[in-house]
Chain A
Amino acid sequence: MSTTHVVDGIDETLTPLQGRPPLNVVYEWLTTVDHKKIGLMYIAYALIFLIVAGVEATLMRIQLAIPNNHFVSPQVFNQLFTMHGTTMVFFVGMPILFGFGNYLVPLMIGARDMAFPRLNAFSFWISAFAGVLLYFSYVGASGLYAAGSAPDVGWFAYAPLTAKVFSPGHSTDYWTLAVFLSGIGSIGTALNIVTTIICMRCKGMKMSRMPLLVWLYLVMASLVFVAVSPLTAAQIMLTFDRYIGSHFFDTQAGGSAVLWMHFFWIFGHPEVYVLVLPAFAFVNEIVPVFSRKAIFGYPAMVAASVGIAFISLSVWAHHMFTVGMGAAANTFFVFATMVISVPTGIKIFNWLATIWGGHVIFRTPMIFCVAFLFQFLVAGLTGIMLSVAPFDWQLGNSYFVVAHFHYVLVGAILTALFGAFYYWYPKITGRMMSETLGKWHFWLFIIGFHLTFDFMHVPGLLGMPRRIYTYEAGRGWEGWNIIVGIGAIFQAAGTLCFVYNLIESYFKGKEAGPDPWDAWTLEWSTTSPPPDYNYAVLPAVRSRRPLWDLKHPDDPDSDYE
């Protein structure tokens, strides 16, 4: 170990990677409790599964390119869409967002780590194990050729298809157990995030002075608490049904299929807000910096975020409009779902107003956020269409819904995530990502995204249901499915550019320094990368933008808040 070397309160003793024995490095990462390393492991893990689930999607698109195709068997196709959905939600979406939260939240509140570092590590490792467990099911009992016992019940695993009689063997149990374990990891991380934010803010950082990213992670983590529990309970009940003879969802013995749907969607709907709130968080940080203006309407943004979280707990049965709940229930859920569009709209208008009157700089983080704004707007509007229950009676469970939620997941969340990568990569690694490669990534990905998901709406309008391994010719769906498939190629190309950029910039990127973007939140006040302890001296703040105050001492934010 080299001796410590501190200059002007900044630790210069970061040991270079090359000098250390590989086994030491591996051991350090395996046993770390440092929020930054755990965050990076979450992110790397999620990126690997992103590629895997992307391959699953590509295989599905090839199978669906022409009617009555025989590229994969129906059994394999059904496993593919189940694994694709389950992987993307639980082993890409959750880990990558927890990863960014883990890395950024302590830095942005001026803390040295999360409140419970060992719980943090445990949560990561149990989630990681859960993903491996799910994928072990492919191997299962029948060898490696993807025809093992991977679950094939859909990512929402409706009862009674999941009953032992309709899903014999253990494929469903892999799904149940993997998601259950991932839920435990999620609760651990959520607990950490909430406690850290409430208890470990630096001096002067009242809740009304926290960066919006921190607010959004607080709300997201609270939502995780409420949402994951019903799913966990339902999975335990399902396992009891399958193994010890209970009949919660066993309709053959008087159980209720609709009960599973309620349990699942009380989790499922807040879950999608859990996924989207961090995307809002990234946009809230990036757009002001690249418009050179403070965020417009900070209090309204906080209120809207909290409001969205609360309302999201009351809309779940808009996934069940076709189930036969009756006119009164349908009407209630229409109302609740429409109401949520009001705070969501407020957020979009606030972003627009932030840009308005600014000096917009189109570097890579910003162009991804611009794409986010347009795409999230469209996604929200198709959501409004789906909230109209009678319209949902046609559009529900069709490719229109698939297009809608991919518009949110890919067009809004993944796009904002890409922006976040480009924005915080310099902080994490000390080097800038390539702008040129970034623009290639952007255009390839956006073109692919729109080819796939814009045109995917049309087969839905023409009556194509989801989760079908093939379809009849003559229904007018063929051409659209081919275009959708071509978009996948562009998205893959864009993602390859991105991964290459990530790796190449680590070794060859321009040195970033502590604050390459001229930003205003606390993480930009420490070195890039930050030392293990984040801040040599814990900061004290007087406004929402402490670095603005430092850079503009004659016109600080604290005069206006």
Chain B
Amino acid sequence: MFLSPGRKKTVHCVGGSNSNWALRAVACSFALLVNRIDAQSPTNIFAPAATPAHSIFNLSMLVFGVTLVIFLVVAGLLLYALIRYRHRPENSNHEPAQIYGSNQIELSWTVIPILIVVVLFLSTTRVILGTQAIPEPDSAMNVTVIGHQFWWEYRYPQSGVVTANELHIPTSDPAHPTPTYLTMSSADVAHSFWVPRLAGKTDVIPNKINTMWIDPAQAGLYLGQCAQYCGTQHAKMLLRVYAQSPADFAAWINQQEQPAVQDFAGNAAAAEGQVVFMRNACINCHAIKGTVATGRFGPDLTHLASRDTLASGAVENTAENLRKWIDNPNSIKPGSLMPSMHLNNHDLDVITAYLTQLR
């Protein structure tokens, strides 16, 4: 029986530094690959469209690069060791050299990770401060966001507009930035505002005010959804952010500032619908500017017909869907907090005719 005495053995430390560009090249190829695979995804975090999302993207490339290198080195060594040092028949009669440790090696693989941590930490701190600790510029537009179960309320304090579920903001020219600052809280439980292409998510919490900012340079529709479980219909609390050129945005907000359409000359159904609406419990939850409806529990309906979707993005805003929703919200969004109003067919028809006029 042969025995090798235990003795200390030095092992060459496999190391090597990669210059920054190689790291980034590898990390970027990975990002491009994912991008390619789902170039169509409107919520791809690797397709940033605003400064917060951009700075996160850049930082994430560094992190991917570092972790990829660590993975290749360690997994590579592991794979090599498992193959090179596998048990062979000629090994059966003796045990290998018993190595209990090595101060130099153990020190090096303590120090090198500490250095990596320092680099990552400093890079991370820079982005945190650049996003969370910068003062709000005077050119910023303010929107107050209030999360509800299961819809989003938007108020524009600078113009008095109250709307719901579809957030319109002006684009921001990088040369003369006009970011949109969101001041957020919740009316009930914790939610989270997440539009991946614009910024990381920020939680929307009752009894707490959180702020974030976004500055998309390009006009378009940016999608997202609530990212903190908030109850039965958390899944359908969708986000739609319409970034519009300053001119388009001015036109939109001007229209939203107007009180609701009241003149239904030639549209008897809509006129009757308004009467039915105002005499029903609808007005307890919903507000329509310029009428007796001043409820705040549900979305503001003043310009309902100007929106693309209903029920916070759940369905397209068509007369048919609207009628179905009013008849029985649970048929579209089971667990929604709007009760079925149990209206008869005639009332449903006229109320739908009324609401579809509220552009």
Contact = CB atoms under 8 A, between A and B. Distances in A.
A291 B199 CA distance: 48
A120 interface: no
A463 B234 contact: no
B113 A322 contact: no
A115 to B, nearest CB: 31
**Chain B interface extent, by class:** 35 or more
A338 B120 contact: yes
Interface in A379-429: 381-382, 384-385, 388-398
B99 to A, nearest CB: 6
Given A74-B233, A361-B87, A298 B100 contact: yes
Contacts of A398: 227
Given A346-B109, A348-B74, A357 B85 contact: yes
B67 A385 contact: yes
Given A323-B205, A390-B59, A474-B42, A166 B189 contact: yes
B298 interface: no
B181 interface: no
Contacts of A561: 100
A298 B125 CA distance: 35
Nearest to A167: B231
Contacts of B224: 463
Contacts of B40: 474, 476
Contacts of B133: 327
B265 interface: no
A166 B38 contact: no
A229 interface: no
Contacts of B55: 390
Given A330-B128, A463-B45, A468 B234 contact: yes
B208 interface: yes
A240 interface: no
Nearest to B60: A391
Contact of A381 (B70, B95, B102, B230): B70
B123 to A, nearest CB: 8
Contacts of B201: 322, 393-394, 396-397
A339 interface: yes
B235 interface: yes
B208 A257 contact: yes
B3 A554 contact: yes
B44 interface: yes
A293 B99 contact: yes
B41 A475 contact: yes
Nearest to A360: B86
Contacts of A254: 207
B6 interface: yes
Interface string B214-249: 000000000111111111111110100000000000
B122 to A, nearest CB: 10
B100 A393 contact: no
Interface stretch (A38-46, A102-110, A127-135, A370-378): A370-378
A359 B91 contact: yes
A299 to B, nearest CB: 7
Contacts of B123: 388
A353 B85 CA distance: 11
A422 B55 CA distance: 48
A294 interface: yes
B97 A462 contact: no
B29 to A, nearest CB: 15
B299 to A, nearest CB: 19
B190 A257 contact: yes
B341 to A, nearest CB: 21
Contacts of A397: 192, 194, 201, 227-228
A419 to B, nearest CB: 15
Contacts of A467: 229, 234-235
Given A75-B232, A384-B120, A472 B238 contact: yes
Contacts of B354: none
B85 A291 contact: yes
A378 B224 CA distance: 28
A166 B45 CA distance: 32
A238 interface: no
Contact of B100 (A166, A345, A358, A560): A560
B124 A465 contact: no
A51 interface: no
A470 interface: yes
A292 interface: yes
A241 to B, nearest CB: 14
B108 to A, nearest CB: 10
Contact of A258 (B37, B88, B113, B208): B208
Nearest to A78: B232
Contacts, number: 299
Contacts of A310: none
Contact of A471 (B102, B124, B235): B235
A476 B38 contact: yes
Interface stretch (A54-62, A154-162, A269-277): A154-162
Given A257-B190, A385-B63, A476-B38, A465 B206 contact: no
A384 to B, nearest CB: 6
Nearest to B314: A472
Nearest to B74: A377
Nearest to A344: B113
Interface stretch (B76-84, B251-259, B285-293): B76-84
Interface in A469-512: 469-472, 474-477
A346 to B, nearest CB: 6
A356 interface: yes
B117 A470 contact: no
Interface string A52-83: 00000000000000000000011100100000
B334 A342 contact: no
B3 A161 contact: no
Nearest to B62: A388
Contacts of A539: none
B21 interface: no
Contacts of A356: 11, 81, 85
A263 B190 CA distance: 16
B356 to A, nearest CB: 24
Contact of A294 (B98, B203, B211): B98
Interface in B31-87: 34, 37-38, 40-46, 53, 55-56, 59-60, 63-64, 66-67, 70-71, 74-75, 77-78, 81-82, 85-87
Contacts of B6: 294, 555, 557, 559-560
Contacts of B81: 352, 355-356, 360
Contact of B96 (A293, A346, A349): A293
A360 B56 contact: no
Given A357-B85, A358-B85, A462-B38, A475 B43 contact: yes
Contacts of B226: 465
A161 B45 CA distance: 28
Contact of B128 (A291, A390, A463, A471): A390
B210 A158 contact: no
Given A291-B85, A385-B63, A475-B223, A160 B210 contact: no
Contact of A160 (B82, B132, B189, B223): B189
B95 to A, nearest CB: 5
9 contacts: A257-B190, A294-B99, A331-B128, A334-B125, A349-B109, A359-B87, A385-B64, A390-B124, A474-B42
Given A388-B120, A557-B6, 18 more contacts: A74-B233, A152-B232, A161-B189, A293-B97, A296-B99, A296-B102, A299-B101, A339-B117, A342-B110, A352-B78, A356-B11, A357-B96, A378-B71, A390-B124, A394-B201, A476-B44, A557-B98, A560-B100
Interface of B: 3, 5-6, 9, 11, 34, 37-38, 40-46, 53, 55-56, 59-60, 63-64, 66-67, 70-71, 74-75, 77-78, 81-82, 85-88, 91, 95-102, 105-106, 109-110, 113-114, 117, 120-121, 123-125, 127-129, 131-133, 149, 188-190, 192, 194, 196, 199-203, 205-208, 210-211, 223-236, 238, 313, 334-335
